[in-house]
A and B are shown apart, each in its own frame.
Chain A
Amino acid sequence: MKTAGGQFGDRAFKWLTLLMALAIFALIALIGYELFRGSHLALQKFGWHFLVTSNWDPVNDVYGALPFIFGTLVSAAIALVIAVPISIATAVYLTELAPLRIRQPLIMFIELLAAVPSVILGLWGIFVMVPWLRDHFFPLLQKYLGFLPFFKGPIYGVSMMAGGIIVAIMIIPIITSVSREILRSVPGLQREAAYALGATRWEVTRIAVLSYAKKGLFGAVILGLGRALGETMAVTMVIGNTPQIVKSLFAPGYTLASVIANEFNEATGDLYPSALFEIGLVLLGVTVLVNIFAQLLLKTFSGPSVKPQN
């Protein structure tokens, strides 16, 4: 029989844990509230024009976020173009094709790569990757693909392309681990059926595994996109931080996250910080929408058994 004390303890403990779990909603509300409050002035002054004008001029207190939105989208797009095929191929290799003995060490390396702090990749990016891109890779790209407008123009090293590549390095481990979980949740019967028809290993993968897992893999990619859009430090260190909209990927750019990182502490007056808060609000809105989409894809693909990696 339960004592009265036990009952009280039970109830108190349950309410305590409930309160802690609900902190999640409180945090989301807090983020939204503070960003709206902070960007109040800018929202009032610019409204929707903020998103479609490209004049960022703190001296005259005129702010438009278009170059940053452009830079964020382009760097994320470059990152996805590089990261998606490589990540999915790696996930396929790790779950379907690799000899069992080398799976574990490879998986560990990839998980460790995911743990490398952004600022360290940025440091490496500034001093190792960017000079290499400038002296070797970009000239090569220009030589063979220079007829495309994206690869025309002077080469500085720090550039939209460099930003995209560093983001790719950061999201590859995420897309790979989530894709691996997805592929692992494909029922073995699927594979056996294809084997029974005489398919080769690769054919089994293509016919029975990949087509089955399409939706989940798409979710993994969208999750990577969410990370790519919000990535800050490493991008800030290699993208060149110039608010402009140009075709060449060798030209410097600027992203939503980077402009906050660079200018927030120097922003004086009322409107300037408010404009940066509005940039934060835009960034939050986009990443939250993308993440909701990704989570819904992942959750409907296989129920709660697939936990997105962080």
Chain B
Amino acid sequence: MTAPNHNWRNFKNVFMQMLTFACAILVVTPLLLVFYHLIKEGFSSINLAFFTQLPKPVGETGGGMGNAIVGTFILLAQAAVIGVPVGVLGGVFLSEYGGTKLNWWIRFAADILNGVPSITWGIVVYALMVVPMHGFSALAGGVVLGMMMIPLVMRTTEEVLQLVPGGYREAALALGISKWKTILQIVIRTALKGIVTGVLLALARVAGETAPLLFTALGNRFWAHNLTEPIAAMPLQIFAYAISPYDDWHRQAWAGALVLLLLVLAINIGVRFLTRDRFRQKI
């Protein structure tokens, strides 16, 4: 027997499936469009000079953003020096030590910290470092990115450490190995892949940050020779070129954006292969 509204219900079912499918397509469209335009506008400007040379002054074609590419990696290295130890060890505390209540508050605070707008970080580190040091510096840029990494790394580290079976810890403790050695040599080593994944994703995230660098690293038309000088970074350079009125610079902005996006996406896709099994389980 068929209820009188059976067809209507079936129609609604199919209709909603198609509607939600259309929404899913709509969501991925911008990514495809951005990628398409980056390749179309940026690919032709990518050559050896782009990676090795300094920007040319207005009116001269050619040149590159070698200094910004190097600058981004220098900033990331500094960020990692600050963000990785603090984040990983903090994550160890959340997973291995501490009481339920304290850890709830730390987790909660870390999630709130993740939501702090990046521009706010910029002016905070400006007040913290640029003012006392009387100038913009690569150091300040590294510090701001490092601080932003801390809550990200802490949360992912905690998450992967908790995936390590409790039996591993108990077995080590039963052999008389002290707790801290158990953590360092058994727990962290077992979860190392996951920790590295978290760190890489955090680096990919801060690599594209522009707003916090505006008032810290500032940007530089030339090679920076030490960490107390302003330094160029790809996002800063892309921003400066994008809002400039010159066609040559727009082309450079597209090329820079393509390189930066490829870097960020390469990390994101790379870690997916690194942790394939874990991700497949989660689906």
Q: Is the contact region of chain B dominated by helix, strand, or loop, or is it mixed?
A: helix
Contact B215 A17 (CB under 8 A): no
Query: When the two chains form their complex, are residues B41 and A295 in contact, meaning their CB atoms are under 8 A apart?
Result: no
* A residues near B269, Cβ cutoff 8 Å: 112
Contact B242 A237 (CB under 8 A): yes
Minimum CB–CB distance for B186 against chain A, Å: 14
Q: How far apart are A145's CB and chain B's nearest CB, in angstroms?
A: 20
Return A143 CB to nearest CB of chain B, in Å: 22
| Residues of chain B within 8 A of A116, CB atoms compared | 31, 34, 208, 261, 264
Would you give 19 A-B contacts (Cβ < 8 Å), ordered by A?
Answer: A6-B181, A9-B180, A10-B180, A17-B97, A21-B89, A24-B113, A30-B124, A34-B124, A34-B128, A86-B26, A94-B24, A108-B272, A119-B239, A120-B260, A124-B34, A173-B27, A200-B10, A284-B116, A291-B112
**Residues of A contacting B211 in the complex (Cβ-Cβ under 8 angstroms):** 118, 232-233, 257, 261
Interface residues of B in 97-128 (CB under 8 A from A): 97-98, 106-124, 126-128
Point out the residues of chain B lying under 8 angstroms from A264, CB to CB.
122-123, 126, 214-215
Q: Would you call B210 and A257 a contact (CB within 8 A)?
A: no
B49-57, B63-71, B147-155, B189-197: which lies at the A interface? B147-155
| Main SS at interface, chain A | helix
Which bucket holds chain B's interface residue count? Answer: 35 or more
Q: Which partner residue on chain A sits nearest B238 by CB separation?
A: A119
Docked CA distance A7–B178 (Å) = 7
- Given known A116-B261, A257-B119, contact A97–B109 (CB-CB < 8 A): no
Residues of B within 8 A of A13 (CB): 179-180, 183-184
The yes or no answer to B281 lying at the interface (CB within 8 A) is: no
Most buried by A among B9, B124, B155: B124
Q: Nearest chain-A residue to B268 (Cβ)? A: A115
- Chain B CB count within 10 A is highest, among A9, A97, A98, A201, for A97
Q: With a CB–CB cut-off of 8 A, which chain B residues contact A46?
A: none
Q: Please, how many angstroms separate the alpha-carbon atoms of A72 and B209 in the complex? A: 20
Query: Is B27 within 8 A of A172, CB to CB?
Result: yes
In the docked arrangement, what's the CA distance between A271 and B13, Å?
60
